[in-house]
């Protein structure tokens, strides 16, 4: 019996002596959260389109894309561009387009309206845009179709932003070792 009492007493004294050595060590586990935020991706661009239909030839394009990439990398925005025929017609203003766009960072559909200066006609527009290229068609009211394929300087829309935050539930700072200060 004396051996049992001695063993229990020795264990109790060991625990009491060791407790101060662990005081202030660790604390609650830090909580890490990732916040995804949308971002704007606005760009000025230039390009060249090859037109077929009502007016055939090469057209220079200059424009501005304004887009918002949401937290799931979906893109919504608009595009304004102005064209100038380089071949197939006198060099003067071609068309002006105002388009809405929606899709992913890599592929966006476009729908828009505009005006054809050379044909003196309002137009409807539809197309698809991928990085550095586009394909679509204008329908010049009372004039006919003008499909096109083009290359431009618009690359893939930039991704949304992510912010990683690590906090301690007790409000204390996170230590360099990655635990919460007690």
pLDDT at residue 14, as a whole number: 62
76: domain range? 39-159
Residue with the bigger pLDDT between 146 and 71: it is 146
Q: Please indicate, yes or no, if residue 59 is contained in any of the structural domains.
A: yes
**169 has a pLDDT exceeding 90:** no
Helix (H) or strand (E) holding 8: helix 2-18
167 neighbors 31 (Cβ within 8 angstroms): yes
Q: Please indicate, yes or no, if residue 60 is contained in any of the structural domains.
A: yes
129 neighbors 153 (Cβ within 8 angstroms): no
What's the domain count of the chain?
A: 1
Interior angle at CA 55, CA 50 and CA 57, nearest 5: 35
**24 has a pLDDT exceeding 70:** no
Q: Is 129 exposed, middle or buried (0-12, 13-18, 19+ CB in 10 A)?
A: buried
Q: Please indicate, yes or no, if residue 22 is contained in any of the structural domains.
A: no
pLDDT at residue 116, as a whole number: 94
CA–CA separation, 178 vs 15, rounded Å?
27
**172 has a pLDDT exceeding 80:** no
Q: Please indicate, yes or no, if residue 150 is contained in any of the structural domains.
A: yes
pTM: 0.70
Q: What separation in angstroms does the CA of 26 have from each of 8, 139, 166? A: 28, 69, 15
pLDDT at residue 174, as a whole number: 73
**124 has a pLDDT exceeding 80:** yes
Q: What separation in angstroms does the CA of 83 have from each of 61, 112, 147? A: 5, 15, 14
Q: Please indicate, yes or no, if residue 58 is contained in any of the structural domains.
A: yes
Residue with the bigger pLDDT between 37 and 15: it is 37
Report, as an integer, the average pLDDT of 77-82: 97
Report, as an integer, the average pLDDT of 144-162: 90
Q: Please indicate, yes or no, if residue 170 is contained in any of the structural domains.
A: no
Number of H helices, E strands in the chain: 1, 11
- Mean pLDDT, the chain, whole residue set: 85
Residue 160 in 3-state DSSP? coil
Going by C-alpha positions, the residue among 67, 90, 80 that lies closest to residue 155 is 67
Report, as an integer, the average pLDDT of 116-122: 92
Going by C-alpha positions, the residue among 153, 159, 151, 27 that lies closest to residue 106 is 159
Q: Please indicate, yes or no, if residue 3 is contained in any of the structural domains.
A: no
pLDDT at residue 165, as a whole number: 72
Q: What percent of the chain has pLDDT over 70?
A: 83
Report, as an integer, the average pLDDT of 48-73: 93
Q: Please indicate, yes or no, if residue 78 is contained in any of the structural domains.
A: yes
């Amino acid at each position: 019996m004396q051996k049992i009492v001695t063993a229990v007493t020795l264990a109790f004294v060991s625990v009491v002596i060791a407790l101060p050595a662990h005081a202030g060590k660790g604390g609650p586990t830090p909580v890490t959260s990732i916040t995804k935020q949308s971002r704007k991706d606005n760009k000025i661009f230039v390009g060249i389109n090859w037109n077929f239909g009502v007016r055939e030839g090469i057209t220079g394009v200059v424009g501005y894309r304004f887009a918002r990439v949401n937290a799931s990398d979906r893109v919504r925005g608009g595009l304004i561009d102005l064209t100038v025929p380089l071949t197939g017609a006198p060099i003067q203003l071609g068309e002006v387009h105002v388009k809405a766009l929606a899709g992913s960072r890599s592929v966006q559909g476009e729908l828009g309206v505009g005006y054809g200066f050379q044909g003196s006609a309002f137009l409807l527009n539809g197309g698809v845009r991928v990085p550095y290229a586009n394909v679509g068609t204008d329908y010049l009211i009372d004039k006919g179709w003008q499909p096109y394929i083009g290359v431009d300087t618009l690359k893939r829309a930039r991704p949304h932003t992510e912010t990683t935050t690590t906090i301690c539930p007790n409000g204390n700072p996170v230590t360099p070792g990655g635990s919460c200060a007690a």
